[in-house]
Amino acid sequence: MSDVTAKTFSITTAISYPNGAPHIGHAYEVVATDAIARFKRLDGYDVLFTTGTDEHGLKIQQTASRAGTTPRAFVDGMAARFQAVADRLDCAYDRFIRTTEPAHTAAAQALWRRMEANGDIYLDTYAGWYSVRDEAYYGEDETRLLEDGTRRSLATDTPVVWMEEENFLFRLSAYADRLLALYETQPDFIGPESRMNEVASFVRSGLKDLSVSRTTFDWGVPVPDRPGHVMYVWVDALTNYLTVTGFPDEADERRRFWPADLHVIGKDIVRFHAVYWPAFLMSAGLPLPKRVFGHGFLLSKGEKMSKSLGNVLDPIDLADTYGVDAVRYFVLRDVPFGGDGSYSHEAIITRINADLANDLGNLAQRSLSMIAKNLSGVVPEPGAFTEADRTLLAAADALPARARALMDDLALHAILAEIWAVVADANRYFASEEPWKLKKTDPERMGTVLYVTAEVLRAVGILVQPFVPRSAASLLDVLAVPAGRRDFAHVGEGARLAPGTPLPAPSPIFPRFEKPEA
């Protein structure tokens, strides 16, 4: 990250509420974001990738008090669990931000002051139906009355209570036109496209000013110069994206990472990121993020995960059972990025055994053990290439460009499908060339077939690094690819495997998943 001349790419996950244990939905988001960040690094970008926890608000304060502890002690324990999930899943984030850090308080207060200086913050009495779960007010028409006399929000089905407080309000209503102009001129500001339509119609239906401070609890960032008020948790939380770039310190070298290139978030919080966040930034006179992408939800066997259904998936258990790369590969390959997906034991085992162990793992094992046995473990000198050799090598060489184009649309699943299409080509090639027969009849041709296969495996190894980093490293290790030659720029003609290179003894890269003994 020291090369200030490199093109930058900054990417964030949402920051999780640490009021319950991290689940597979949180893991999915950080893994997908990590894959994009790794991809950009391998493609030559200077990347800032951040994730973290959103630790303020009434919900956290209440959960801590139910657990018989202070909010501070509670979030310290929980934030560590969220960070442990990101670490266990090999997510190479640059910064884990916690909103209870002093640097973040300073950033949130600086943003507030700028919005206030612009005349967008005023004091008023606010009354409405408040959902603690959503940390949001609803109009009466946005709620329904239950038979027992209680009310719930229509949108989220969470309980609401009548609250009246003196609040600061943000003049959101003044930003509708500018927001609509933003969506118009920057059509990929919100992805996938379907979310853009939802957001635009929400804005067109009319924006009310937003209550941005609370006086009924104190677990939050203090409003500057106004004792008794803490910031609405979403003002505080969204500012994390600025904190990680050193805001408000103009001289901080991380400031080059703002505006963010991409906020990766779940579909349930698109409104906060695509309406409130750009409005706050416009008010503060700061550049807007380039893109907000709302991924889908991961369901457990088609059902929403919930404690009462007992189907909450613990990402650490999954990694222990199947292996980190298997979990990463499964969620990235099986779920079209942007759509919903479903997790099941059967589905992940099918993916592990078919795609990883069989298609890629077996091909590597068979071809490399032939090099070990028949060619003393040394990369052979290829003879003249046939049409079949050239076609396969060209398909592998084309992968970075194809992947890059798909990455522009964040089609992570489609990148994996492209890579595995080349793996399938290589398997067909290997089966039809029958190098095991050539050993006696035409040893030079056998060497060429093994060379081509190994070279395709090298390209595949480089391309799969963002998705299955550990296994990719093992594959590149058994191909003796030096650490400095593993970027996308090293796929293709310019960096082919050097004949004569001794290879380490091949070891299985992707073991089959065998049912553990009961």
Choose between 345 and 437: whose C-beta lies nearer to ligand ME8. Answer: 345
Which of 11, 15, 97, 406 is close enough to bind ligand ME8 by CB under 6 A? 15
Where in 258-277 is the site for ligand ME8 (CB under 6 A)?
Answer: 265-266, 268-269
Beta carbon of residue 39, minimum distance to ligand ME8 (angstroms, whole number): 20
Q: Please count the CA atoms within 13 angstroms of the CA of 262 that sit on its side-chain side.
A: 27
CB 167 within 8 A of CB 215: yes
Where in 22-51 is the site for ligand ME8 (CB under 6 A)?
Answer: 25-26, 28-29
Residue 387 class from Cβ within 10 Å (0-12 exposed, 13-18 middle, 19+ buried)?
Answer: exposed
Between β-strands 136-138 and 121-131, what pairing exists: parallel, antiparallel or unpaired? antiparallel
Choose between 254 and 267: whose C-beta lies nearer to ligand ME8. Answer: 267
Q: How far apart (Å, rounded) are the C-alpha atoms in residues 99 and 93? A: 16
Which of 182, 200, 238, 262 is close enough to bind ligand ME8 by CB under 6 A? 238
CB atoms near residue 152 (< 10 Å)? 17
CB 273 within 8 A of CB 292: yes
Choose between 284 and 503: whose C-beta lies nearer to ligand ME8. Answer: 284
Beta carbon of residue 466, minimum distance to ligand ME8 (angstroms, whole number): 19
Q: Is 236 in the site for ligand ME8 (CB under 6 A)?
A: no
Structure token digits, residue 307? 């404690």
Q: Is 14 in the site for ligand ME8 (CB under 6 A)?
A: yes
Q: How far apart (Å, rounded) are the C-alpha atoms in residues 81 and 405? A: 36
Which of 62, 297, 366, 489 is close enough to bind ligand ME8 by CB under 6 A? 297
Choose between 108 and 121: whose C-beta lies nearer to ligand ME8. Answer: 108
Q: Which stretch binds ligand ME8 (CB under 6 A): 178-186, 236-244, 327-335, 490-498?
A: 236-244
Beta carbon of residue 464, minimum distance to ligand ME8 (angstroms, whole number): 23
Q: Which stretch binds ligand ME8 (CB under 6 A): 21-29, 132-140, 279-287, 471-479?
A: 21-29
Beta carbon of residue 237, minimum distance to ligand ME8 (angstroms, whole number): 4
Q: Report the residue number whose CB is nearest to ligand ME8.
A: 266
Maximum Cα–Cα distance across the chain: 90
From residue 434, alpha-carbon distances to 40, 263, 355, 367, 439 in Å are 38, 48, 22, 11, 9
Q: Is 413 in the site for ligand ME8 (CB under 6 A)?
A: no
Q: Is 237 in the site for ligand ME8 (CB under 6 A)?
A: yes
Angle at Cα 202 formed by Cα 258 and Cα 263, nearest 5°?
Answer: 25
Q: How far apart (Å, rounded) are the C-alpha atoms in residues 445 and 270? A: 56
Beta carbon of residue 490, minimum distance to ligand ME8 (angstroms, whole number): 34
CB 458 within 8 A of CB 479: yes
Which of 46, 54, 355, 433 is close enough to bind ligand ME8 by CB under 6 A? 54
**E strand or H helix that includes residue 11:** strand 8-16
CB 174 within 8 A of CB 214: no
Sorted by sequence, the CB contacts under 8 Å of residue 389 that are 6+ apart come out as 382, 448, 449, 452
Query: What mask, x for binding ligand ME8 by CB under 6 A, covers residues 113 to 152?
Result: ----------------------------------------
Beta carbon of residue 26, minimum distance to ligand ME8 (angstroms, whole number): 5
Contact positions vs ligand ME8 (CB under 6 A): 14-17, 25-26, 28-29, 54, 237-238, 240, 265-266, 268-269, 297-298, 305
